[in-house]
Amino acid sequence: MNNLGFDDVTKTRWRESLEALLAEPIEPTLILTLRPKIWPSASRPFIARGADQCEYVVKARQADRNIERQMVNDQVVARLGVMMNAPVAKPSLVEISTDLIELSPLHSYIFAGTAHATEFIKDCSDDRELFLHTKEPANRDRFALLCVLYGWVYARDHQFIYRKLKPNLVHSVDHGHFFIGGPDWNIERLTRTTDVQLDRLLLETCKLTCQELESAVNACLAVTEAQILEAVAAPPTDWGLTIDDRLALVEYLMSRQKQIMAVFTNLC
């Protein structure tokens, strides 16, 4: 039995499932157009249009800094959020060619290859913001879902975007600094830290009620082992995530998910 409470048989099953998923990686969408819109944050995400005619916000590997682990975090958390029906941007993988980058000097800082992407949400605030529209009825369940999701994975960076028109729906779109250690997480950090809380900042700022939280907790608990494995297997192998890293992340998520109901029960 390891220190997170999972036996070797379970860990072996997880490893075999991850290896099977990695043997059939997700097919990325080819990017056809790089838009001039680039946000001035550290990871410098940008808008791009895919062969599927969808507009994406993209984070790509960069020539001057290592952001692969941020891309991993973004991809995994967004997939878990979608599985919970939380208000996160829908994640995808996209492929950017060298020829396309050469045609766009603005994007000379990125590498060609597979990148993290989320579908661009139209008519939202242009920059990330903190807590707004928390009393808007349409946002109450959305903030409750984010409170549970953020507590489950451990959020380190609270920022949101909002629809410009009423009811100003909240969306969570940037999760690169999530997990214990943020983009610097490693196996040791994940396995030695297991305490879970519903996200205190969201809980207290939004003054979420037990009734609002209950359905969000149930949504978290409804995410299956198979779905967690799929989320952790999603990042491409060339982002530097080893099979042991992935296994540690699965253990971390499964362990923390097991604690969510007890945390909710103690709170309510």
Query: Which of 189, 180, 188 minimizes the C-alpha distance to 154?
Result: 180
Instruction: Give me the chain's average pLDDT, please.
Output: 94
Structural contact between residues 167 and 137, judged by C-beta atoms closer than 8 angstroms:
yes
Question: Domain ranges in the chain?
Answer: 8-267
pTM for the model stands at 0.95
* pLDDT of 251 above 90: yes
The SS3 of residue 176 is coil
Structural contact between residues 106 and 34, judged by C-beta atoms closer than 8 angstroms:
yes
Ramachandran assignment for 181, one of left (phi > 0), alpha (psi -120 to 50 degrees), beta (any other): left
Sign of CA pseudo-dihedral 196, 158, 252, 217: positive
Quick: pLDDT tens for 156-202: 889 899 999 999 999 999 999 999 999 999 999 998 866 899 999 99
Structural contact between residues 49 and 33, judged by C-beta atoms closer than 8 angstroms:
yes
* pLDDT of 104 above 80: yes
Quick: pLDDT tens for 59-94: 999 987 889 999 999 999 999 999 999 999 999 999
* pLDDT of 3 above 80: no
Structural contact between residues 134 and 43, judged by C-beta atoms closer than 8 angstroms:
no
Question: What pLDDT is attached to residue 2?
Answer: 42
Quick: pLDDT tens for 16-74: 999 999 999 999 999 999 999 999 988 999 999 999 999 999 999 998 788 999 999 99
Tokens at residue 142, please? 């959305």
